[in-house]
Structure 1
Amino acid sequence: MENVIATSAALGAVVGLILALTGAGGGILAVPLLLFVLHLSVAEAAPVALLAVGLSAAVGALIGLRAGNVRYRAAMLMAGAGTLFSPLGLWLAHRLPNGPLTLLFAAVLAFVALRMLRQANLSEPQQPTGGGQPLQPCQLDSRTGRFVWTASCTRALTLSGVGAGFLSGLLGVGGGFVMVPALKKATNAPVHAIVATSLAVITMVSASGVISTAIAGHMNWQVGVPFAAGAMVAMLAGRLMASRLSGHRLQQGFAIVAGLVAIGMAAKVALAA
């Protein structure tokens, strides 16, 4: 038992460090680590990952809230939609065979790796929307700094929350890789507001998934508690290192590692067949 606790804490520390250096999307490696090292199934590993990612995201969300960067109405709408669909993902995760679920996770991980590698390799930052391009559904009021709510804005944010919530329950991912691009596409909010709002949604949706899992009796607390504790400690320590390292190189490194892990997960399923 002591070996399991120590190993869980060490794995959590790895995830926390990745979160600090690469952002919330780094938490997607939590499930593969639990699969390969502790030999959990995806359905068993997903709630443990959610616990760690949710607590880590809460720290970033609180910092963003204090700085006034969280668009809390948008976050509550997205989290509300995500909370409704997270239990559906959990329900499905415990009924799908582990092989297909692992392949699905590998596909999502490969997608995240390719997108992050593409972003890291962009030589020039994207220019803001303008010059005849269609406006995003959600526009910030220049006087109040708040979104002007319309039917199309509400629909876009709700659908983003639904996708993030379902994937968080099904695969144990926070959903940042869904919400950040969705918010960039649906709103004209600045990047720091998008990231802070995304972290707030991840916190609330992850909490709903953890609570649902605990009520159903599927949470492995023996692994989950030390894993989450290790992630929190390493994330706080990693924040001190992040400013000294190249974000461009970190993104490239994370993308390569994530791609290799996705290949390994798919190979594991193929060999077990």
Structure 2
Amino acid sequence: MMLIGGLLGLVIGAVLGLTGAGGGIFAVPALVFGLGMDIRGATPVALMAVGSAAMLGALQGLRQGLVRYKAAIVLAAAGTITAPLGVRLANWLPSRWLNLIFVVAMLVVAYRMFMSSRGARNDGELSVAQSGVCKVSKDTGRFIWNLRTVTTLASIGAVSGLFTGMLGVGGGFIIVPALGYFSELRMHSIVATSLLVIALLSAVTVFITFGQSLSLTAPTWAFSAVALVGMAVARFLGAKIPSTALQRIFAIACIVVAIMMLMRNMG
């Protein structure tokens, strides 16, 4: 079981490092199917692994000057307020409903990834429609702060925190596309900033659930530790993989796992 946990962690860390999203969306099913955990018990374990791996990626982004840390603080602060509500919803909703919500989330992620792949440019950046609500200075590459910027970022963070607390997902698959649409940041900066927010929200949610549904065994420790290795390797190799192919493989994998989760829910 330790070997299975380690292999699953390696894959999850790699997915997170390559996409800046999707760690939790695959981590929870991996723990459910690979280690036989219930979705409630899998959520905090997945967050611990994903959060640790995300922090490693965020530190790399900070060294490279890619992380917009002020924006990350606003996003994480708003998410910290709604994450406890998400945890309460997870404890209140029946497991069957949690599974169904998770399946819907995976299908939304698959659709977003596939549509993003259709707009990918040759340089690896995504050509996404931008509303320009959160303006970025052309001189510094940093946000131009005003009430509209703060409100928009806080709203994104609040939604992300709710889903993080409830399902162990929401950091990447909400923050990355939202920042892509509402801000003028380049994608590599969006991914790095997203990783820092994921790390902070994961830490808060794990702290809330500690002693409730958090169960740490040898396989789950292996899962969390090896996820760091997967993240490090993926961040190194990510630039060499065409973004279009990566996103389409990710989308197909999401659909397959969603079907598996749905079949398990109906069983």
Provide the TM-score with structure 1 as the length reference.
0.88
In the alignment, which residue of structure 1 is the partner of 2:187?
Answer: 191
**Residues 53 and 174, structure 1, Cα contact 8 Å, conserved in 2:** no
In the alignment, which residue of structure 2 is the partner of 1:218?
Answer: 213
**Residues 164 and 202, structure 2, Cα contact 8 Å, conserved in 1:** yes
Instruction: Give a deviation string over 1:49-93, Cα, whole Å, max 9, x none.
Output: 111111111111111111222111111111001011111111211
2:144 is equivalent to residue 148 of structure 1:
yes
Superposed counterparts of 1:149-164, under 5 Å: 149-164=145-160
Sort the Cα spacing of 1:240 and 1:267 in 2 relative to 1 into closer, same or farther, 3 A.
same
In the alignment, which residue of structure 1 is the partner of 2:105?
Answer: 108
Counterpart code for 2:33? F
RMSD: 2.0
**Residues 12 and 52, structure 1, Cα contact 8 Å, conserved in 2:** yes
In the alignment, which residue of structure 2 is the partner of 1:9?
Answer: 6
Paired residue total: 262
Q: 1:91 aligns with which of 85, 88, 91?
A: 88
Structure 1 residue 127: deviation in Å?
Answer: 6.9
Q: Aligned partners of 2:91 and 2:99: how far apart in 1?
A: 12
The runs of 4+ residues in structure 1 deviating greater than 6 Å are none
In the alignment, which residue of structure 1 is the partner of 2:127?
Answer: 126
Q: Aligned partners of 2:234 and 2:22: how far apart in 1?
A: 15
Q: 1:168 aligns with which of 164, 167, 192?
A: 164
Q: Aligned partners of 2:263 and 2:230: how far apart in 1?
A: 30
**Residues 44 and 219, structure 1, Cα contact 8 Å, conserved in 2:** yes
Who wins on radius of gyration, i.e. which is larger?
A: 1
Counterpart code for 1:206? S
Structure 1 residue 123: deviation in Å?
Answer: 6.1
Most deviating of 24-33 and 175-184: 24-33
Structure 1 residue 95: deviation in Å?
Answer: 1.8
Q: Aligned partners of 1:235 and 1:155: how far apart in 2?
A: 31
Instruction: Give a deviation string over 1:127-182, Cα, whole Å, max 9, x none.
Output: 775xxxxx622212334443222222111101100011111110011511101111
Paired-residue identity, % = 41
Counterpart code for 2:91? H
Q: Aligned partners of 1:245 and 1:147: how far apart in 2?
A: 29
Sort the Cα spacing of 1:91 and 1:17 in 2 relative to 1 into closer, same or farther, 3 A.
same
Provide the TM-score with structure 2 as the length reference.
0.90
